């Protein structure tokens, strides 16, 4: 069986997946852009606010006319949000105005309604102002937030609710975002049962498909196909054909090691796939094939192996395709000793603690509940067999 280092396999994967993960821009509706990566600088098409308007319910006045208070002014008009209102304020009068309504020319301040009272016994509409306001008070200027042509947000930002609020406010209908790779997930194993069904003897619940789909979504890919095959080659072949029809990239789990009924290896090797051993633990058996022009990346089926394989081989490429920052390893002190097999790079599950990083479980690649408690992978180099508490290791955030 052929064998290669983690680095060599990662390079082979990058080469094969490169065309499928080439960055492209697409346009999506603002309402559908949450979580997407902006793929170009976006400038404002208009001033915001688009017109001078009132910040309060109250009375638009010339500040000069309310310098000496109390003062009683005739109310010449009422303007609500959404109505154009009078073009000009008659000098010496007030316009009753609601929050967001346009300020008439000639008015330069708003007296909040709390600082006024309707004049008692008056036959005409008048208001008595008790507290004067300086020019500009409670007035929102046109362009006071952003000016037409100003940069709203730079390429590379991950769009949040507050970004979408801004784009909606300037009237943007669509945004240029990085296209998400379309990925198919195909798990294998005749023992697998979907949640919601009873377990018969020898069966287990399918978890890799759920885990891979979630990992893809987290790393800015679209899951366009998610199915589980038995170890029957015909069924696998059939599902694989459907997967390659719909996706830029296919991830498979299970069926790649040296036992019998290794359906992924058996079906893909004759199609020119590479199946071999990568000097790592977990995740030793790996596969890489191109089927009808679509790269198929095959991970071993143990749940921890599947997710570690995703972290090591798929995630860095997806992050790059998405225009997102790579995962940065950092050095942490080991909270306790560890041992590791010679000649294999080991990715142990760890948890960050005050003292540094502690092992979260043994090396068993079936320990999926222990994996859930981990927040980092501890990267033990291939030539290291023992480490003491206090020694520094590289950890990869999960």
**Interface residue list for Mg ion (CB under 5 A):** 189, 254-255, 301
| Rounded least distance, CB 303 to ligand AMP, Å | 5
| Rounded least distance, CB 335 to ligand AMP, Å | 29
284 touches ligand AMP (CB under 6 A): no
Sign of the alpha-carbon torsion through 90, 92, 97, 102: positive
301 touches ligand AMP (CB under 6 A): yes
Choose one: 139-147, 159-167, 203-211, 317-325; the region binding ligand AMP (CB under 6 A). 203-211
Q: How many residues bind ligand AMP (CB under 6 A)?
A: 17
Rounded to 10 degrees, the C-alpha dihedral 294/249/36/217 comes to 170
Residue from 107, 127, 192, 377 in contact with ligand AMP (CB under 6 A): 192
Sign of the alpha-carbon torsion through 310, 239, 266, 21: negative
Measure the CA–CA gap between 122 and 2, rounded to whole angstroms.
98
Other beta carbons less than 10 A from residue 276's beta carbon:
17
Q: Which is nearer to ligand AMP, 110 or 264 (CB)?
A: 264
Measure the CA–CA gap between 138 and 53, rounded to whole angstroms.
9
282 touches ligand AMP (CB under 6 A): no
| Rounded least distance, CB 309 to ligand AMP, Å | 11
SS3 14: helix
283 touches ligand AMP (CB under 6 A): no
Other beta carbons less than 10 A from residue 192's beta carbon:
21
Q: Which is nearer to ligand AMP, 55 or 361 (CB)?
A: 361
Measure the CA–CA gap between 82 and 195, rounded to whole angstroms.
53
Q: Which is nearer to Mg ion, 132 or 189 (CB)?
A: 189
Q: Which is nearer to Mg ion, 189 or 295 (CB)?
A: 189
Binding mask 168-187 for ligand AMP (x = CB under 6 A): -------------------x
**Degrees to nearest 5, angle at CA 78 with 74 and 84:** 130
207 touches ligand AMP (CB under 6 A): yes
User: Which long-range contacts does 199-204 make (Cβ < 8 Å, 24+ apart)?
Assistant: none
384, 386, 361, 240: which is closest to 308 by C-alpha?
A: 361
Q: Which is nearer to Mg ion, 229 or 346 (CB)?
A: 229
Q: Which is nearer to ligand AMP, 147 or 373 (CB)?
A: 373
Joined tokens for residue 98? 């609601």
Q: Measured at CB, which residue is nearest to ligand AMP? A: 301
Q: Which is nearer to Mg ion, 93 or 298 (CB)?
A: 298
353 touches ligand AMP (CB under 6 A): no
Sequence-distant (≥ 6) Cβ neighbours of residue 162 within 8 angstroms: none
Helices (H), 107-232: 161-169, 208-218
Name which of ligand AMP, Mg ion, none residue 303 binds, using a CB cut-off of 5 to 8 Å depending on partner kind.
ligand AMP
220 touches ligand AMP (CB under 6 A): no
Question: How many angstroms separate the Cα of 43 from the Cα of each of 83, 172, 176?
Answer: 28, 10, 12
Q: Which is nearer to ligand AMP, 170 or 251 (CB)?
A: 251
**Degrees to nearest 5, angle at CA 208 with 206 and 214:** 120
208 touches ligand AMP (CB under 6 A): yes
Name which of ligand AMP, Mg ion, none residue 53 binds, using a CB cut-off of 5 to 8 Å depending on partner kind.
none
CB 20 within 8 A of CB 154: no
300 touches ligand AMP (CB under 6 A): yes
Question: How many angstroms separate the Cα of 356 from the Cα of each of 353, 391, 392?
Answer: 5, 10, 9
309 touches ligand AMP (CB under 6 A): no
* Residues engaged in binding ligand AMP (CB under 6 A): 187, 189, 191-192, 204, 206-209, 253-255, 257, 300-303
């Amino acid at each position: 069986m052929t064998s290669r280092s983690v680095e060599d396999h990662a390079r082979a994967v990058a080469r094969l997946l490169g065309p499928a993960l080439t960055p492209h821009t697409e346009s999506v509706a603002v309402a559908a852009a949450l979580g997407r990566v902006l793929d170009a600088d976006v400038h404002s098409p208009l001033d915001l606010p688009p017109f001078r308007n009132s910040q309060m319910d109250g009375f638009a006045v010339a500040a000069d006319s309310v310098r000496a208070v109390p003062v009683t002014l005739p109310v010449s008009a009422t303007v609500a949000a959404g109505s154009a209102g009078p073009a000009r304020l008659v000098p010496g009068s007030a316009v009753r105005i609601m929050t967001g309504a346009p300020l008439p020319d000639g008015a330069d301040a708003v007296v909040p309604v709390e600082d006024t009272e309707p004049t008692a016994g008056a036959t005409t509409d008048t208001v008595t102002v008790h507290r004067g306001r300086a020019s500009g008070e409670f007035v929102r200027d046109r362009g006071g937030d952003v000016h037409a042509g100003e940069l709203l947000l730079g390429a590379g930002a991950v769009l949040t609710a507050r970004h979408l609020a801004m784009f909606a406010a300037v009237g943007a209908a669509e945004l240029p975002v990085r296209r998400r790779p379309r990925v198919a997930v195909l798990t294998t194993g005749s023992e697998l049962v979907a949640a919601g069904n009873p377990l018969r003897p020898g069966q287990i619940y399918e978890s890799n498909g759920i885990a891979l789909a979630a990992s893809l979504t987290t790393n800015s890919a679209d899951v366009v196909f998610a199915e589980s095959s038995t170890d029957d080659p015909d069924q696998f072949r059939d599902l694989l054909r459907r997967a390659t029809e719909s996706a830029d990239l296919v991830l498979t789990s299970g069926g790649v090691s040296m036992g019998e009924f290794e359906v992924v290896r058996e079906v893909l090797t004759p199609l020119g796939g590479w199946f071999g051993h990568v000097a790592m633990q977990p995740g030793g058996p790996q596969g890489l094939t191109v089927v009808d022009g679509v790269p198929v990346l095959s991970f071993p089926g143990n749940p921890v192996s599947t997710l570690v394989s995703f972290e090591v081989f798929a995630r860095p490429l997806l992050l790059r395709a998405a225009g997102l920052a790579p995962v940065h390893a950092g050095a942490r002190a080991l909270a306790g000793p560890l041992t590791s097999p010679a000649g294999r790079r080991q990715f142990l599950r760890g948890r960050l603690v005050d003292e540094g990083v502690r092992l979260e479980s043994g090396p068993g690649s079936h320990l999926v509940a222990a994996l859930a408690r981990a927040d980092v992978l501890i990267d033990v180099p291939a030539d290291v067999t023992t480490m003491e508490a206090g020694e520094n290791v590289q950890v990869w955030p999960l």
